């Protein structure tokens, strides 16, 4: 059996279904570029038939991506399949991914369809997709709660009609590891023509078993894993790409399989996805969390000092965690900055380089040491920018435990500079109210998060906000993510809010 496992990344499709996540086209393209540099085998760029935005995203990623397969999801319906083919027309390596529910529950309650009708629908869907694209994948939705005999029949029909990949899904994260491994083994034995197709798995994390179920499937013969960066996705998320990859690498002796991922780009790609989705990575997150390679216990610290392998099963440098050194300072030039950015996995256009270098210089004037982690935060935040309809000029705050918090904010809007003052429950709330007075927008703060990028009193603070803006034109409120970074957390907070307002205005 082939020991290579294909990594199928669905961050741009299933990952974007995470509640509150809404990526624009520029952000999707930047994630796709990082995924290709990561050497992901398949990038699922979207569901072309779902919306015009998804169609444009699949189309744009198809044009730019040359080495990875670009895939679009489609229901087993002609309109979806034809839209997928249209969106993928510019791809160097296109794939149409058709799916149909297979469990009795879904067939009866959702689709109102008999098993025979499902077989016919799957066959016609795959057949049409095959006539439009050489590479076709078929997924059985809710496979883990389906009758194995019917599943084998369904997959066999899909292969007979031209599917080269069949995908076994644990759509609601219901299966245990033992159950899922038995299902994979049984299907590998009973699917007609299975030797002509690659077996894939797609697991959700509702009960915390997505990675475990995916890896046990690999051990028993699956040779493609569908996953997302940081495990983002519907409900509790999907199997985490970085955990799958490092599991295969660290325990190659057990799984007997490997993948083609450049692990040194895992950290930067993870950080970028976190920045653009606005979903912070928990400190205790396996592989990419801030605490993944830290040791608090004295016994552990002593062991690591003697030999790292006593308490570390993988090395931080293997996933590309930046060193804690200060490679650049306020006297560094743009060439050194660009070289460091490239080494960290970022490719900048001339315009992007100029904007990022200006931010770096501002940071270097405030911070004694600029670390590589600071640069990753700065460069990741580059992609959350929007056209600056509003630009923060200055602010002043008055606050204390016996004072009513008051903020005065000055913002440039076109050729005008507008100043407003407001009071609030705290200095940040007061500043946000002042911004609302300037923009004259009905804005509601949904979430606010702050984290220190590095340690120390001069650490770079990064603030993430989500807002809802009522446009007042009868259309649904616009939701937007904003990011701000500064050694001053108040400034970072206001920058993040103004950035979110700009993005809401631009969308």
Reply yes or no on whether the pLDDT at 385 is more than 70: no
**pLDDT tens sequence across 110-164:** 999 999 999 999 999 999 999 999 999 999 999 999 999 999 999 999 999 999 9
What's the rounded mean pLDDT across residues 94-106?
A: 97
DSSP 107: I
Nearest to 246 by CA among 15, 36, 5, 16: 5
- Which residues are CB-contacts of 336 (< 8 A; sequence separation ≥ 6)? 327, 328
Output b/e per residue, 145-182; b: 16+ Cβ within 10 A: bbeeebbbbbbbbbbebbbbbbbbbbbbbbbeeeebbe
> If you average pLDDT over residues 492-506, what whole number do you get?
91
- Cα dist. 30→15, 34, 53, 361, 463 in Å? 15, 6, 16, 24, 21
**Overall fold of domain 385-506:** Double Stranded RNA Binding Domain (3.30.160)
Q: To the nearest whole percent, how much of the chain has pLDDT over 90?
A: 67
Among the ranges 240-244, 380-384, 456-460, 485-489, which has the highest mean pLDDT value? 240-244
Whole-angstrom distance, CA of residue 204 vs CA of residue 209:
8
Q: Which residue has the higher pLDDT, 268 or 145?
A: 145
Under 8 Å CB-to-CB from 213, ≥6 apart: which residues? Answer: 170, 175, 177, 180, 201, 203, 239
Residue of 242, 299, 234, 224 whose CA lies nearest to 41: 224
CATH code: domain 6-277 is 3.20.20.70
Q: Determine the distance from the C-alpha atom of residue 91 to the mean position of all C-alpha atoms in its chain, rounded to a whole number.
A: 21
Q: Provide the pLDDT for residue 124.
A: 98
130's enclosing H/E stretch is: helix 115-132
Q: State the average pLDDT over residues 198-208.
A: 98
Break the chain into its structural domains and give their ranges: 6-277, 291-321, 322-380, 385-506
Q: What's the pTM?
A: 0.86
d(CA 164, CA 107): 24
pLDDT digits (tens, 9 = 90+) for 5-56: 999 999 999 999 998 888 888 889 999 999 999 999 999 999 999 999 999 9
User: What mean pLDDT comes out for the span 182-209?
Assistant: 98
Query: Count of CB atoms within 10 A of residue 345's CB?
Result: 22
Query: Could you count the other beta carbons within 10 Å of the beta carbon of residue 22?
Result: 17
């Amino acid at each position: 059996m082939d020991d290579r496992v294909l990594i199928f990344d669905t961050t741009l499709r299933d990952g974007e279904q995470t509640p509150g996540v809404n990526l624009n086209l520029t952000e999707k393209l930047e994630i796709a570029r990082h995924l290709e540099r990561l050497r992901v085998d398949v990038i699922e760029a979207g569901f072309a038939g779902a919306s015009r935005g998804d169609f444009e995203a699949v189309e744009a990623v198809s044009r730019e991506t040359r080495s990875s397969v670009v895939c679009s999801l489609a229901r087993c319906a002609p309109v979806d399949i034809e839209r997928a083919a249209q969106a993928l027309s510019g791809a160097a390596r296109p794939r149409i991914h058709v799916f149909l529910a297979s469990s009795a529950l879904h067939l009866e309650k959702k689709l109102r369809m008999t098993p025979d009708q499902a077989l016919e629908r799957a066959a016609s869907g795959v057949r049409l997709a095959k006539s439009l694209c050489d590479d076709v994948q078929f997924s059985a939705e809710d496979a883990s709660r389906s009758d194995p005999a019917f599943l084998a029949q369904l997959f066999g029909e899909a292969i007979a009609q031209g599917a080269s990949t069949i995908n076994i899904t644990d759509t609601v994260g219901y299966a245990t590891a033992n159950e899922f491994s038995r299902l994979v083994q049984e299907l590998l034995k009973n699917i007609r023509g299975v030797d002509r197709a690659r077996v894939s798995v797609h697991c959700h994390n509702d009960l915390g078993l997505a990675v475990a179920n995916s890896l046990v499937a690999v051990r028993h013969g699956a040779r493609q894993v569908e996953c997302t960066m940081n495990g983002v996705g519907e409900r509790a998320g999907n199997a985490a790409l970085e955990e799958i990859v490092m599991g295969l690498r660290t325990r190659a002796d057990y799984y007997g399989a490997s993948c083609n991922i450049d692990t040194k780009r895992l950290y930067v790609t993870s950080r970028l996805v976190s920045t653009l989705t606005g979903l912070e990575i928990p400190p205790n997150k396996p592989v990419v969390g801030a605490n993944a390679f830290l040791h608090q216990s004295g016994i552990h610290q002593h062991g690591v000092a003697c030999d790292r392998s006593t308490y570390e099963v993988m090395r931080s440098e293997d996933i590309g965690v930046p060193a804690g050194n200060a490679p650049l300072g306020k006297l560094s030039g743009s060439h050194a900055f660009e070289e460091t950015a490239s080494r960290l996995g970022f490719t900048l256009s001339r315009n992007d380089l100029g904007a990022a270098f200006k931010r770096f210089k501002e940071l270097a004037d405030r911070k004694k040491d600029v670390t590589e982690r600071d640069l990753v935060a700065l460069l990741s935040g580059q992609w959350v920018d929007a056209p600056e309809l509003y630009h923060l000029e200055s602010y002043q705050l008055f606050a204390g435990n016996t004072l009513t918090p008051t903020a005065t904010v000055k913002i440039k809007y076109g050729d005008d500079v507008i100043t407003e003052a407001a009071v609030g429950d705290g200095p940040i709330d007061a500043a946000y109210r002042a911004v609302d007075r300037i923009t004259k927008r009905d804005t509601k703060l949904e979430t606010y998060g702050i984290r220190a990028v590095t340690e120390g009193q001069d650490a770079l603070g990064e603030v993430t906000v989500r807002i809802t803006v009522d446009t007042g034109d009868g259309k649904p409120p616009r939701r937007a993510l904003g990011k701000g970074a500064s050694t001053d957390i108040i400034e970072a907070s206001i920058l993040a809010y103004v950035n979110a307002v700009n993005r809401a205005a631009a969308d």
